[in-house]
Structure 1
Amino acid sequence: MKIVLIIAWLFSFPLNGHAQKIDTMKNGTEETAIRTALEQYYFKGIFEGNTALLREVFFKDALLFGDIKGVPYYKTAEQYIEGVGSRLSPEKAKAPFHPEIISIDVINSIAAVKLNVKMYDFNYYNFITFHKINGKWLIVNKTLTDVE
């Protein structure tokens, strides 16, 4: 009898009582804002070699990790942005540049984004974390790998 009462007591609590409610309508708007940040600042900045655009979308203390052609990769956002500014841009080189947004997942003020960026002879997969800071979506972390 005690077991029956305990089970009945447990079922009296809602299963999602403490779960975070995700507002899909708001997330659609936030996803659009993240797409805009990716297309107008991140992708355009990489393609043009435009460091000002990249500084608009990266949090100043963001970190980048990964591997390129099997070699470990680590940079601060500033090191990465300076590197993009000092190389020949795909735009100026008239090189192929094909960025693709694979997925965007938004919960509250954070978002995880998966990208595929093909440029020069690289086939990058990126996992980018955004955080909404002072009303603006900023990249706070980027991990990447180059796939043959």
Structure 2
Amino acid sequence: MSSPTEFDAIHSVLQLYFDGLYHSDTTLLAQVFHQDALYATAVADKPIVLRMDEYFPVVDARPAPAASSQPRTDRVLSIELIGPVTAHARLQCSIPPRDFIDLLTLIHVDGRWQVISKVFHSDVRD
């Protein structure tokens, strides 16, 4: 399963992810994330862990970068196939005023690649 086709399939999922974030479109993000996926980071030494039913309202409530024509910084930094049904992707993107490094773990279930976890770091731009 580690053919170029798998990388293309994963890259397509990642493009949907970028589009969903840029447009604050949870309909697109629902195609990317497994229903049981986790969203995680740490703020002030405290973990923040959300399920998709908690994360999607956050996305719905924020202004879409597309609405103000913000420049896109989307970039796939790496994709690693861990095994036939597991992959890891490291991404860069921005939702002003923050720049993000996202670490996504993907699984191949129900005939498609889906994000099962998102762990990220962000910095506020000057």
TM-score normalised per structure 2: 0.87
**Which of 31, 35, 43 does residue 11 from structure 2 map onto?**
35
Per-residue CA distance 1:68-106 (angstroms, 9 max, x = gap): 587643211222122111111000122233111000011
Letter of the structure 2 residue corresponding to residue 75 of structure 1: L
| Secondary structure at the counterpart of residue 74 of structure 2 | strand
Q: For this pair of structures, how many residues does the alignment match?
A: 123
Identify if the C-alpha distance between structure 1 residues 68 and 46 changes in structure 2 by more than 3 Å, giving closer, same or farther: farther
Q: Structure 2: 5+ residue runs without aligned partners?
A: none
- Which has the larger helix fraction? 1
Determine the structure 2 residue equivalent to 1:101: 76
1:122–1:147 CA contact under 8 A, matched in 2: yes
Alpha-carbon separation, structure 2, partners of 1:70 and 1:116: 23
Identity across aligned pairs (percent)?
Answer: 24
| Secondary structure at the counterpart of residue 30 of structure 2 | helix
Alpha-carbon separation, structure 1, partners of 2:106 and 2:28: 16
Determine the structure 1 residue equivalent to 2:29: 54
1:105–1:112 CA contact under 8 A, matched in 2: yes
1:98–1:117 CA contact under 8 A, matched in 2: yes
Per-residue CA distance 1:35-76 (angstroms, 9 max, x = gap): 01111x211111111111101111011011113587643211
Aligned-residue CA RMSD (Å): 1.8
**Which of 67, 76, 83 does residue 92 from structure 1 map onto?**
67
**Which of 72, 76, 98 does residue 122 from structure 1 map onto?**
98
Determine the structure 1 residue equivalent to 2:108: 132
TM-score normalised per structure 1: 0.75
Q: Which has the larger radius of gyration?
A: 1
Q: Structure 1: 5+ residue runs without aligned partners?
A: 1-22
Identify if the C-alpha distance between structure 1 residues 88 and 101 changes in structure 2 by more than 3 Å, giving closer, same or farther: same
